[in-house]
Amino acid sequence: MINLERITTEYVEVEDRIRLAGESEDNQTIVLWLTQRLLTQIISHLLGLIEKQSPTPGEKGAPTSSLLQGFAQQAAEAELAPEQPVRAVSSSISWLIPEVDITLSPEGTLVLLFKRDLGAVAGQDDEGMATLTVVSKQLRQWLGILHAQWRRADWPLAIWPTWMDESPAPGSSNPLH
């Protein structure tokens, strides 16, 4: 199994997919391709987790809740520091990802397990899997990056909550990490 330390997220128009170029703890580079269909499921699940974790007054979906979510999103995105992008090279492993398992620890750490083969089970055949571990702020930052790349792809925005639209989108069409 490959444990990703950092990633660069980019929409690739010719593929009409999102490319995650990831760097592992041993400086190996891997490219994970995510389709809009799979990302829709992942994003919906991650947004649900954020909304459950965030302490918000009033009823779910209330204007105050949306406002607080927007502020939290803006704060997380403001703390996103520029880094060198992960560069995929011709020798990089490249997988089309059909399935992602998402696990949330009691401490709030989120683990995404990207599976190259449908039905792959952790511990049995770790060859076709990669993991990415993020904390709450990093999750918000990555969702902000995904949102910007989603807009760049001109995909339907219906899955995104209004509080994501209220946060300032990065002004660049360059890959974000």
- Residue 112 has what pLDDT? 94
Tell me the C-alpha distance between 89 and 127, whole Å.
20
What burial class does residue 69 get, using C-beta atoms within 10 Å of its C-beta: 0-12 exposed, 13-18 middle, 19+ buried?
Answer: buried
Q: Are strands 99-104 and 29-34 parallel, antiparallel or unpaired?
A: unpaired
Tell me the C-alpha distance between 106 and 30, whole Å.
29
CB 11 within 8 A of CB 152: yes
| pTM across the whole model | 0.79
Tell me the C-alpha distance between 16 and 33, whole Å.
10
Tell me the C-alpha distance between 28 and 152, whole Å.
28
- Residue 59 has what pLDDT? 53
Nearest Cα to 103, choosing from 164, 39, 42? 42
User: Domain map of the chain by residue range?
Assistant: 2-166
CB 3 within 8 A of CB 131: yes
pLDDT per residue rounded down to tens, the chain (177 residues): 899 999 999 999 999 999 999 999 888 899 999 999 999 999 999 988 887 766 545 555 555 576 776 667 677 667 777 788 888 888 788 999 999 999 988 777 899 999 987 665 555 556 789 999 988 888 888 999 999 999 999 999 999 988 887 645 444 445 555
- Residue 49 has what pLDDT? 84
CB 167 within 8 A of CB 144: yes
